[in-house]
């Protein structure tokens, strides 16, 4: 008998493969976005950024990584001049992607986590 769903870490509920699929599709949408695309196209090593983003969420959802990368989310976003509308746009694209590729409960759980991260980033702008 396994743990009730609410006690199973979100990383196990979603799975690494699905997490990576959501992030890949999300980055495609970000890059194509008329407003946010410029920010992401300006990242010198987008593949490394995407990998850190994957690890950030994997670890945040309860996943393990024996060699976690250094992630300074607040410091990296400080001074970018992001507006509330940028964060709202990011959140909308993320929610759209999560709902497209995950079941509703998994998508909503991840979206709630994303809103916490957005709140932290908005505080530094």
Structural domains present in the chain: 11-63+71-123 (1.10.490.10)
CA 36 – CA 34 distance, rounded (Å): 6
Average pLDDT, the chain: 91
pLDDT at 106: 98
**Mean pLDDT calculated for residue range 48-59:** 94
CB neighbour burial string for 5-36, b if at least 16 within 10 angstroms, e if fewer: eeeeebbebbeeebbbebbebbbebbeebeeb
- pLDDT tens digit sequence for 83-104: 899 999 999 999 999 999 999 9
Give, as one character, the DSSP assignment of residue 80: S
Residues 6+ apart with CB under 8 A from 43: 49
**Mean pLDDT calculated for residue range 39-57:** 94
């Amino acid at each position: 008998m396994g743990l009730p769903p609410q006690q199973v870490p979100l990383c196990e509920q979603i799975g690494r493969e699905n997490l990576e699929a959501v992030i890949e599709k999300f980055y495609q949408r970000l890059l194509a976005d008329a407003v946010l695309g410029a920010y992401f196209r300006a990242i010198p090593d987008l593949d490394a950024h995407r990998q850190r983003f994957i690890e950030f969420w994997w670890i945040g959802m309860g996943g393990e990584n024996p060699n976690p990368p250094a992630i300074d989310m607040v410091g990296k976003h400080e001074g970018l001049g992001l507006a509330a509308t940028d964060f709202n746009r990011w959140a909308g694209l993320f929610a759209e992607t999560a709902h497209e590729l995950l079941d509703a409960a998994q998508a909503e759980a991840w979206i709630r986590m994303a809103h916490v991260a957005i709140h932290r980033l908005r505080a530094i702008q």
